[in-house]
């Protein structure tokens, strides 16, 4: 596809989005690429897309995660906060299959036991993860990075002939708009700002249409303006995807959060609205009052 066509596609998407922009709970933006669940794939009939119960893991006798129980509703945007070493990144390692817990249950929907799947399988099931450091292909353009994100092990054969079908082109244009990079489609990724690289990487995840997105400290190192735009971005994803966001920036958490979970010493210390957990003496002691 030529850049012109691509831009036209992005423009069409932008117009469509504007037309369907209503004041929904999720921030009003409609995005057709993200469906929280496809019937028969992830069973969320019990109201949970992710469910952990009594999960523990030790490293050399040190309990990094200790009887942790947590669940997330379909379409929810959950923020996870807590002091350094609380186990936030390890929690994401467990969900994505990078680390195996010593005990406990981890379910995706009510039927998929994630402990029976390895890392690539879990990604295929629809759990996308954004690490703290952006890992885009610096020498490739924004467009090429997003295109490349479609190349899954399953799809390699098809993508060798490297023409996006029209659904994929539409998706790409839509993702470009969502991540605020429609005007930078031909820019080399290495020339983007730190914040833009982070958005591009989120866009690469979105190309895979994940049901659950795990984001570890996504606004670290961003300018205030980039942080605000990232908050908008996340609010637009909520409802279409489920999100788990680890972040220390309380202003950001305040803007995006419904329910906040406070982790400490590998367990849930408190959970509630940000106001509720900020008023909790135990939370002030271990985290906020530092």
Ligand X SMILES: Nc1ncnc2c1ncn2[C@@H]1O[C@H](COP(=O)(O)OP(=O)(O)O)[C@@H](O)[C@H]1O
Alpha-carbon span 220 to 40, nearest angstrom? 37
Residue 89 sits in the site that holds ligand X (CB under 6 A): yes
Outline where the chain has alpha helix (H): 3-20, 88-95, 119-125, 142-148, 156-160, 166-178, 194-207, 224-237, 250-256, 274-278, 281-283
Q: Which of 84, 161, 163, 281: binder of ligand X (CB under 6 A)?
A: 84
Distance from CA of residue 170 to its chain's centroid?
21
Query: Strand pairing partners for 237?
Result: none
Closest approach of ligand X to the CB of residue 183, in Å = 35
Residue 196 sits in the site that holds ligand X (CB under 6 A): no
Residue nearest to Mg ion (CB): 89
Q: Which of 55, 89, 130, 146: binder of Mg ion (CB under 5 A)?
A: 89
Stretch that binds ligand X, among 80-88, 145-153, 179-187, 237-245 (CB under 6 A): 80-88
Closest approach of ligand X to the CB of residue 283, in Å = 14
Closest approach of ligand X to the CB of residue 85, in Å = 4
| Overall residue count recorded for the chain in this entry | 290
Q: Which residue has the tokens 């190192």?
A: 221
Alpha-carbon span 142 to 245, nearest angstrom? 24
Q: Which of 9, 27, 75, 87: binder of ligand X (CB under 6 A)?
A: 87
Of 48, 38, 183, nearest in space to 110 by CA: 48
Site for ligand X in 27-66 (CB under 6 A): 59, 64
Q: Site residues (CB under 5 A) for Mg ion?
A: 88-89
Q: Site residues (CB under 6 A) for ligand X?
A: 59, 64, 82, 84-90
């Amino acid at each position: 596809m030529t850049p012109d066509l691509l831009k036209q596609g992005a423009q069409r998407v932008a117009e469509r989005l504007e037309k369907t922009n209503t004041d929904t709970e999720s921030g009003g933006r409609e995005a057709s690429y993200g469906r929280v669940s496809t019937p028969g794939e992830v069973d969320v009939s019990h109201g949970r897309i992710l469910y952990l119960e009594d999960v523990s893991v030790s490293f050399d006798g040190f309990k990094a995660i200790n009887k942790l129980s947590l669940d997330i509703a379909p379409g929810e945007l959950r923020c996870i906060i807590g002091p350094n070493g609380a186990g936030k990144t390890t929690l994401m390692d467990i969900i994505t299959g990078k680390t195996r817990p010593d005990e406990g249950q981890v379910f995706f929907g009510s039927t998929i036991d994630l402990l029976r799947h390895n890392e690539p399988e879990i990604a295929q099931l629809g759990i996308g993860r954004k690490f703290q450091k952006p890992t885009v292909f610096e020498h490739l353009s924004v467009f090429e990075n997003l295109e490349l994100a479609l190349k899954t092990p399953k799809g390699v054969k098809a993508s060798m002939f490297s023409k996006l079908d029209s659904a994929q082109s539409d998706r790409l244009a839509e993702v470009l708009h969502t991540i605020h990079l429609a005007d930078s489609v031909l820019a080399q990724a290495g020339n983007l700002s730190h914040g833009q690289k982070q958005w591009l990487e989120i866009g690469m995840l979105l190309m895979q249409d994940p049901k659950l997105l795990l984001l570890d400290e996504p606004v670290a190192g961003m300018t205030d303006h980039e942080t605000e735009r990232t908050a908008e971005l996340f609010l637009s994803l909520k409802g279409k995807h489920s999100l788990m966001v680890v972040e220390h920036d309380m202003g950001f958490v305040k803007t995006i959060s419904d329910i906040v979970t406070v982790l400490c010493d590998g367990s849930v210390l408190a959970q509630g609205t940000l106001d509720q957990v900020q008023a909790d003496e135990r939370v002030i002691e271990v985290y906020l009052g530092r």
